[in-house]
Structure 1
Amino acid sequence: MEMSYQQQKITLIVSFLIVPLVLLLTFTYYPALRLIYLSFTSWDGLTPVKTWVGFSNYQEIMGNREVFYIFLHNVAYFVGGILQNVAAFFFAVLLNSKLKGRNMFRTVLFLPYIMNGVAVAFMFGYVFDTNTGSLNYFLSLIGMDPISWLGKPGLVNISLASIGVWKFMGFNMVVYLGALQSLPEDLYEAARIDGARRLQVLRYITIPGMRKIIELNLFLTVIGALEVFDLPFVLTKGGPLAASKTYVQQTVETAFQYNNFGLASAMSVLLMIVVIVVVSAQRRIVGGKEE
């Protein structure tokens, strides 16, 4: 019996969706549910026995002020991410013009993003080195004393965040550039005919037309700022005096150094909740009302 057109359409859609759905359930939803389950247990990660402890792990986290204090270390990354987006938007607008050599500049600005994160960390380890670093060498040329960029608690997170700005700004720029090139040229033609200035075009046409893309980049920035791990882990191991230790690094140490996978799972669930709350607040602030 031959299938009708509607049945064929449904079969085709289901056939295309079943593999992505299986992958989504296997590698996203199941691990998330498993993580939530483990957060209510006491488990060392080795033995098959998992002791149910209820909300004890969450109570331990809530009673430990240092866990929440660590989130303050992520503020530098958040501020750096905002500056990163501003710079990326500026370069996207600049390189969307008929600037000579714009393709070369686009490539140069995007290259840091495709570099391995650990390699970038080691590279900037030489840049920020107190004794032989290139940054302190330039300071010595203008008569300034060397600065311990990664050795001062008040400066280490700013130094690490600046690396993130250098690495990820090119990605944000490419996203903004793609959005700029998708905006209707008719709007710009009409604005030019009406005698609108460049700042007016930017404010009333470009930025409103890119609102969703700006929101996307800020979403990625917030997620990245809350989940920083590789830079402080490779360069400072969380030092000096745990001044650069991030929440994710503390979670990893809890699991693999102290073999407390139940508590680490609870910390991961808490991070998911924080991300959801922060992103929801961001959507309300940046997204505004749907037009």
Structure 2
Amino acid sequence: MLSRLRRFTLCSLALVPFAGPALAGDTSAWSAREGTAARLVAGGAQEGSHDGSLIGGVEIRLPEGLKTYWRYPGDSGVPPHFDWSGSRNVEAVEVLWPAPVRFDDGGSFSIGYKRDVVLPLRITPKDRSQPVDLKLNLDFAVCGKICQPANAALDLALPPGGIGAPSAALTQALASVPRPAELGARSEPGIAAAELHHASDGATIRIATHVGNAATADLFVEGPDEDWALPLPARETGADGRTIFVLPVDGIPKGADVTTARLRFTLVDGDRAIEVDTPLSAR
């Protein structure tokens, strides 16, 4: 299987450039007045943080019928790329990804967002007593019947401690970020087991889950780095009634060992989602 970047085929090569002027306040300016656009969103200090971390977000506006991609885009597509190198007084920025959905790209399946989305940020300043100047050069893909790459240059000044409380949209996005969970949890949603099965027709990964809605629950599997391109799993019903997700062992980079690698499993069950980071069990 090809890497995610090589598997992304653009039907249009036109670059859609956006530029947002610097703005101090709750948000930056939108990168475009109409259509697809992005902006930075400010929040306050992260609750319980001991390093002065601030909460913020990248809000992406998508016109009806368009979509954009998750950190792992699936069979086709390209994830957003964040360049924070122009920022001042910033030690690190972590993107906290809301639970995505699977969608049909016409013969292949991708992972992402079908409507406007806020991607929460955890911003760690170098000096918590000083302002933060957050500068983002964002590259992302916007797809309908055709796909186009887009770019947004955004700038937002944050005072020490951030700006007030997160907006309702940012708060909702934070609530939809999958929570960390342990393998073997019996709660819903939960992942009971993640096993490597060997058969004459090839090896498969089987993930047994506890979900509230078996018809709509979905699961996404990622490798340790972006060189991995694991396929999207199919859904089955086990003999005990549990929902099982199954995928072939494919898209493994040369020299990697699926039996020892830690994989990341994101299980989405309605408005609840969890994330489990674990190696596979052999069977």
TM-score between the two structures when normalised by the length of structure 1: 0.22
**Higher normalized strand content (fraction of residues):** 2
- Which is higher, the Rg of structure 1 or of structure 2? 1
Query: Which structure's relative contact order is higher, taking Cα pairs within 8 Å and 6+ residues apart?
Result: 1
**Higher normalized helix content (fraction of residues):** 1
